[in-house]
Amino acid sequence: MGKRYENLEAVRSNKSFKDMLRWNKERRRKMKDLTTQIEQSPVKKVAELQQNRTRTSYTWIGHSTFLIQMNGLNILTDPVWAKRMGLDKRSTEPGIALEDLPEMDVVVISHGHYDHLDFPTLKRLKGNPHYFVPAGLKRLFTRKGYRQVTEMNWWDSVDHKGVTIHFVPAQHWTRRSLTDMNTSHWGGFVFQIAEKTYYFVGDTGYFSGFNQIAERFAIDTVFMPIGAYEPEWFMAPAHISPEDSVKAFLELGAKQFVPMHYGAYRLADDTGPEALERLLHAWEQQHLPQEQLKVLLIGETIFEGGA
């Protein structure tokens, strides 16, 4: 048997068949409004993004997919344009069509779950990107024919064409088949240039690692998951709630919070609007400045230092 990866403090997300039955029974009793969805941005800056090689920017494509532009590089996080996830249709269209993206230089993968690693999407990307993946995942990429792949362990750092990429812990798990449970790792990525530090959290439950990351990095903007938390008795080890995401933001000492991982796929019982409503309420409860919370519409772009 190959190596099996673990969380900090050996926290486990394993659930029994009995737990699955309990969740399914609860879900059948819940009535959810699925008619309201997260809105698309009325302005898509496709032409600017295709031409930009000088300004720092980030664009929310949807779910955990961001186009980040730093130091002249085009970076994609967890690219997934899939129209379905399991039996369910995607709830919201990607903010930018795959064919409208610029050529990619870097792709980072937080872990191997299908809503974060979609090979049909990767196959259609323009350019010849370098892939940065968690430990244990490179062999799958190699089997698929990818050659520019760097595998990273927690706290590893790589300088790539002027951007320093760090792989940091998350609390999660992974599986793509019946036999590969936790045979690759999971985590987040910190991107650093001289004037800006972005932290892409990936998929995580609330955990002590946020304090460890805060000790090592001065984070400007954190891309933080807020969805797929319900029922919390089932999801909490692997998916952070909106309230705990605010707690994590405060522990990180970041300057700006950008929510993600909500509204595209129904991976749990909560809906995108519910996750966002709870986030906004938690933000108000903590009396945090509104300018520190940047809720993006799908496909919205932020150019640092101006519109």
Are the C-beta atoms of 130 and 152 separated by less than 8 Å? no
Give the number of other CB atoms < 10 A from CB of residue 184: 26
Tens digit of pLDDT per residue, the chain (307 long)? Answer: 579 999 999 898 878 888 888 888 887 788 888 889 999 999 999 999 999 999 999 999 999 999 999 999 999 999 999 999 988 899 999 999 999 999 999 999 999 999 999 999 999 999 999 999 999 999 999 999 999 999 999 999 999 999 999 999 999 999 999 899 999 999 999 999 999 999 999 999 999 999 999 999 999 999 999 999 999 999 999 999 999 999 999 999 999 999 999 999 999 999 999 999 999 999 999 999 999 999 999 999 999 975 5
* Phi, psi angle pair for 251, to nearest 5°: -65, -35
Residue 123 CB partners (closer than 8 Å, separation 6+): none
Listed residue (146, 160, 162, 63) closest to 110, CA to CA = 63
pLDDT at 306: 57
Are the C-beta atoms of 184 and 135 separated by less than 8 Å? yes
**Domains with residue ranges and CATH for the chain:** 38-303 (3.60.15.10)
> CA 200 to CA 264: how far, in whole Å?
18
pLDDT at 26: 81
